[in-house]
Amino acid sequence: MVKAVVLGAAGGIGQPLALLLKTNPLITELGLFDIVNTPGVAADLSHIATPAKVEGYLPPDDGLAKTLKGADIVVIPAGVPRKPGMTRDDLFKINAGIVRDLATGIATTAPKAFVLVISNPVNSTVPIVAEVFKQHGTFDPKRLFGVTTLDVVRASTFVSEVINDLSKAPEIVVPVVGGHSGVTIVPILSQSSHPVLSLLDGDKLKALTDRIQFGGDEVVKAKDGTGSATLSMAYAGAEFATKVIKALAGEKGLIAPSYVHLDADKEGGAALKKEIGKDLDYFSTNIEIGPNGVERIIPLGKLTDYEKQLIAAAVPELETNIAKGATFQKAPP
Ligand code: NAI
């Protein structure tokens, strides 16, 4: 019996994500919340012959609380997406307040739920959720996840394109660590399950790294002002949510990358801080997920000199992004 909730469910990501979750046989209840259109989206999805009972609410009459009641997992893709020329950080002004309000609802109504944050800038919105939870005395770092899966999905695809064999894309695994924006996205191609590094000279390695870091810009540009990645994000979000749900159901050994608070596993977090040479509170890395959330933070392991340089460039940017989110909530403007 798993209740999953999508906040921002009528949006570009929210609708296909809700569709994919509706097809997950482990989900028995699916709650949808948005400031527009959720009754329609819910009615539409409810006709699909899968176990999940679907309900959609709008803000009036305590719609957020009704949606969240009894939630085991809450996925948040609410907020504005990028337009050409914008960075994810440019979204902060609008999305920070949206995420804070939704997090307040979760802390009040479903404080034990696993929270998966998609809304950008993820590097800052995750600290906002954590601060809201701390203020409500309900913060458990094991239960909060920034969704960075799309970076990993892109890395698999782009590596399969380099080796000219898209059929290998589903099985190629490349750890992508750091954060979820520009230079904070650090692909560890030396640890790719396909030994792609041996095929890449310096320029090609840089080009592939850049493409993984800035892959989102390709979509923003192609959509020409109408938004950013939605379908690939819904796919990635559903993939990550499915792992979390399987872990909740007791499956063991589930590894996935996510942007987490490093106190979620104090020992693993301390080892990772040593590797990056900085006492950051949040970082994206492979984690093992279990029934209580983050079981283990997996350190980065052996890196090439180039990857060490990428990490060194990511750390100060991440530090600024984290402080921006945490400060916003501690002292809202
Ligand atoms: P969208 O504009 O199509 O949908 C956002 C939805 O959020 C809309 O339906 C809107 O009504 C809703 N919303 C706004 N305020 C709300 C509130 N207070 N409560 C509930 N719902 C609210 O945007 P899209 O394309 O779905 O993107 C959503 C977010 O996901 C953006 O911040 C975007 O940057 C981010 N994103 C994150 C990625 C990641 O890898 N983590 C990848 C792609 C996008």
pLDDT in tens, 166-213: 999 999 999 999 999 999 999 999 999 999 999 998 899 999 999 999
Ligand 1, atom 33, residue with closest C-alpha = 81
180 catalytic? Reply is: yes
229 CA from centroid of ligand 1 (Å): 10
**What's the pLDDT band for 89 if we cut at 50, 70, 90?**
confident
Beta-carbon contacts of 27 under 8 Å, excluding residues fewer than 6 positions away, are 2, 3, 4, 21, 51, 52, 245
What pLDDT is attached to residue 230?
A: 97
* 163 within 8 A of 194, measured Cβ to Cβ: yes
Ligand 1 pocket list (CB less than 6 A): 7-8, 10-14, 33-36, 77-82, 91, 95, 98, 101-102, 118-120, 122, 147, 150, 180, 227-230, 233
86 has pLDDT over 90: no
Q: What CA–CA distances, in Å, run from 196 to 125, 138, 161, 177?
A: 33, 44, 11, 18
Pairing of strands 73-76, 2-7: parallel
**What's the pLDDT band for 216 if we cut at 50, 70, 90?**
very high
pLDDT in tens, 68-79: 999 999 999 999
Q: What is the CA radius of gyration of the chain?
A: 19
Query: Which residue type is seen at 312?
Result: A
81 CA from centroid of ligand 1 (Å): 6
With a cut of 0.95, is the ipTM above it?
A: yes
Judged by DSSP in three states, 75 sits in strand
Which ligand 1 atom lies nearest to the CA of residue 88? 34
172 CA from centroid of ligand 1 (Å): 28
Beta-carbon contacts of 302 under 8 Å, excluding residues fewer than 6 positions away, are 190, 191
Angle, to 10 degrees, between the axis of helix 14-22 and the axis of helix 231-248?
40
Distance, in Å, from the CA atom of 9 to the CA atom of 31, rounded to the nearest integer, reads 9
332 has pLDDT over 80: no
